[in-house]
Structure 1
Amino acid sequence: MKKKYPALSIVVPSGSKIAQGLKTLEIRSWIPEQLPLKDLVIVENTQLLSAEYTEEMGKAVAIVDIESVHPWREDECAAACASDWAEGYFAWVISNVRPITQPLGVPAKRKIYFIDIDHL
């Protein structure tokens, strides 16, 4: 039976790092409309999606929860697997990581969007 899940696209290799528990913060310039954000599917894709390039095929690699968001701090680069820090971004706190052992192809889009997939 199919279920509708919220999804967030993340460029390679960050989605896999989340699935492996190595990346515990996702850094974004925006905040989700509601928190907590439960059962968020992490979709790994190859291109940074922009206003001009809004969609491609990706693969669902994990299901996570986002419990909270706070202004990103310079001492959080390691948790975000980031090489450098910039002011004005938000750290999404990733918890309850459930890797998808058989990644499946799904659309990768901007912001938070919804996908219909078989119950995972």
Structure 2
Amino acid sequence: MLALSIVAPHGSNIAAGKKVLEVRSWRPESLPVRDLLIVENSMFLSAENPIDFDGRPVAIVDVEEVHEWQPSEEEAACSNGWVPGYWAWSLSNVRPITNGGALPAKRKLYEVELTHPKASQ
């Protein structure tokens, strides 16, 4: 399953429907991205620190559209400040996961093995 890691508390904010835009400096190679697993982790990942082994799945989402992030979209992204040059990923069809075990969190989009995610309907 394709996954995207997000630093806490923003994965939980997505699962709760509070965060409807994910802001990134890059865009997915193609759209739509359906059934994207959101893995929440506790630290910012970098080239020096590319994996957090204590991530946990919190939601499955769809990304139908990506656009240039606008100053008026700070609240939708649960952001404390707008910065130009970033992309806003519109998150839809959010399905919170109720039984997430530990999964690695990695940079960019990555593949994970998730046998039976229990998403709320």
Query: Shorter-chain TM-score: which interval?
Result: over 0.9
| Count of paired positions | 116
Shift of 1:119: 3.0
Unmatched 5+ residue regions in structure 2?
Answer: none
Paired residue for 2:108? 111
Paired residue for 1:47? 43
**3-state SS in 2 of match to 1:75:** helix
State the distance in 2 between where 1:119 and 1:71 align.
34
> Which of 14, 17, 23 in structure 1 is aligned with 2:19?
23
Asked if the contact 1:6–1:114 (Cα under 8 Å) also holds between the matched residues in 2, the reply is yes
Unmatched 5+ residue regions in structure 1?
Answer: none
Identical-residue share of aligned pairs (%):
55
1:1-120 matches, within 5 Å, as: 5-57=1-53, 58-120=55-117
- Which digits, 9 at most, give the CA deviation of each residue in 1:86-108, with x for residues without a partner? 00000000000000011221110
Moved segments of 4+, more than 4 Å: none
State the distance in 2 between where 1:70 and 1:104 align.
32
**3-state SS in 2 of match to 1:21:** coil
TM-score by length of 2: 0.94
State the distance in 2 between where 1:104 and 1:113 align.
17
State the distance in 2 between where 1:54 and 1:82 align.
23
Asked if the contact 1:61–1:104 (Cα under 8 Å) also holds between the matched residues in 2, the reply is no
Normalized per residue, the structure richer in strand is 1
